[in-house]
Structure 1
Amino acid sequence: MIARCDLAPLDGITKTVFRRVWARRFGGADRYFIPFFSPTPQHILTPRDRRELEMLPGLRQVPQVMTCRAEDFLWAAETVRDLGYEEVNLNLGCPSGTVTAKGKGAGFLARPEDLDRFFDTVFARTPLPVSVKTRLGIQSPEEFGQLLEIYNRYPIACLTIHPRIQKEKYRGPVHRDVFAKALAESRNPVCYNGDLRTTAECREFEAAFPQAEHVMIGRGAVADPALLRKLRGGPAASREELRDFTAALYQEYQSFYGQTGPASQRMKEVWFYLIHLFQGGERCGGRMRRSRGPAEYERIEAEI
């Protein structure tokens, strides 16, 4: 049975404003992962990174770091420790071409020997527990056997596995056979991530993997804000709750950015997922994606 649920880091979506508003109205997550930041060569937190790393009272947040340099990761770990965090996460899952071309995210998986040396340095000096979010490899799921051998050499706080390779991005079925092998052979705690978008999909996963107690959900929790609450026996989102949630989110985006333009753009990104809760919503969703400016956005949201 699923005992623990994490909110996945979705770059551009689950930022500090979203986490705060979502947790206040729906919640259900044990940990809230902060979308990755990449340490600069100068080892200075940018103003944007500092805003995202704001501590939110009552939420157990975990900063995620994107780098392939051990010294940069260690600096980031020390920095978030000083901000009050108790865990740091390494992103080995991002499949974006612009990221992997730099050898970061899932791109780091193409160099297992370098990854091993990276971990050797990091775990000898890290000031915090280190968790890892990973894919299965670059070209083939068979690559994960060697990667798991590397992971098993180190005391990873939690190994979150998205069972696709980098080339598949978020398309096609997940390789649950490989996840099953990892679940049986990992020496570290394992968390599952991938295509858990509805309660039915979560219950199907529970039935297939009764020994898996920990999952991470991202897109599903944005598309249905009450999903994690429902998994814990709570009610579905009501019409009034959704109206209040989107209104509060829009208002807090405006306060955060100081203007309505960026706020409406952020809301459009959230509605890309949320619109599927509404019967016939795809028509409004298409119009919203094409809308220009806050006034047009607000008219379409009012229709929804």
Structure 2
Amino acid sequence: MEGLTGAVYRKLHHRFFGGADAYYIPFVTPTVEPKFTDRQLRELAPEVNSGIPVVPQLLSNRSADFIWAAKALGEMGYSEVNLNLGCPAGTVVAKGKGSGFLKDLYGLEKFLYEVFSADIPVPISIKTRLGWSDTAEFEDILKLYRKYPLSELIVHMRLKTDQYKGDARTQVLLNALDEIPFPLGVNGDLVTEADLKQADERFRHPHQLMVGRALMADPALFRKFKGGKPASAEEIRQFSKALYDGYTEAFGSRKNAMMRMKEYWFFQSCLFEENPSAFKRIFKSREEADFSAALDEIMSGGLLRDARFGWKKPL
């Protein structure tokens, strides 16, 4: 998740909860100039991610840009690069990137041919959606992917036009399992430990299960899936404090850090008993004391075994 799962979050989640086999660095957009920006290096520099399993995710529709970036990442010591063909954001698809590239299979085939013909020293995986506006598109998309030696195919089980609405189109991916020769990653509507276990069984123990918002809501989700304990209120309290301090250091501003924490607590509050009054005060607060008081009230309530799907899933 762009913004929320940056270096500060990755380090602290790995230290406090662990359980994730890999963290994806979202939406690194390489440009014509073959050099990462200072802002990008704040996420990509090897020392930033030392000791944490991370995979950089590139957002591009120009093969030359992807190639130099993937080569540079290999030289930096990364062991995999992921091409994002799943992002449905309007500003992304308008440029023909992310899931917008799925509208142009001719252009995508040319891109992949040039990428896989280049001497890139790291394996390349793809995150994709099922198509643009019709699940029938997935057949041709898969035919295209099968031409190339992907290290993994991660499928968000929705179309671009679905955005994040409705339920994931699980059956479409289930029907295609025998046609996927790569290690498979499954993504979409995996919120609870039970969801992960069900997906693991239904999809024949895929290579990975990918989540985004659900890990914001329940940072112990993968730990539980692997047989570990649920998050405790004290863990959440200490984790939240460490995040706040980490964002303060990164942003150089306690106020800006509080704004980022409000975004985080939009999801994290779903692990606690509902408290609409305190929830509203979190987002209306302008002073740190008011923000902290609202958090204390939420955390004094009951901690749930699994997060509620409370982040207003669009219908």
Distance 2:176 2:69 in 1: 28
The one-letter amino acid paired with 1:182 is: A
Distance 1:98 1:12 in 2: 16
Aligned ranges 1:80-229 → 2 under 5 Å: 80-125=73-118, 126-229=120-223
1:188 Cα shift? 1.3
The count of corresponding residues between Structure 1 and Structure 2 is 295
Residue-by-residue CA offset, 1:73-110 (whole Å, 9 max, x unaligned): 00110121222111111010000011100000000000
Distance 1:115 1:227 in 2: 35
The match for 1:6 is none
Closer, same or farther: CA 204–300 of 1 in aligned 2, 3 Å = same
Is the contact between residue 281 and residue 290 of structure 2 (CA under 8 Å) also seen in structure 1? no
The answer to whether the aligner puts 1:47 opposite 2:41 as a matched pair is: no
Distance 2:276 2:43 in 1: 31
Distance 2:274 2:172 in 1: 37
The match for 1:3 is none
The match for 2:54 is 61
Match of 1:141, SS?
A: coil
Distance 1:281 1:76 in 2: 46
Residue-by-residue CA offset, 1:160-195 (whole Å, 9 max, x unaligned): 000100011111111111111332111211110111
Instruction: Give the share of equivalent positions with the same residue, in percent.
Output: 43
1:58 Cα shift? 1.9
The match for 2:304 is none
Is the contact between residue 16 and residue 54 of structure 1 (CA under 8 Å) also seen in structure 2? no
Which TM-score applies when normalising by structure 2? 0.90
Is the contact between residue 276 and residue 282 of structure 1 (CA under 8 Å) also seen in structure 2? no
The match for 1:33 is 24
Distance 2:265 2:58 in 1: 27
The match for 2:297 is 303
Q: Work out which structure has the larger RCO, using CA pairs closer than 8 Å and 6 or more positions apart in sequence.
A: 1
Which TM-score applies when normalising by structure 1? 0.93
The match for 1:269 is 263
What's the RMSD between the two structures over aligned residues? 1.4
- Which runs of 5 or more residues in structure 2 are unaligned? 299-315
Between stretches 209-218 and 257-266, larger displacement belongs to: 209-218
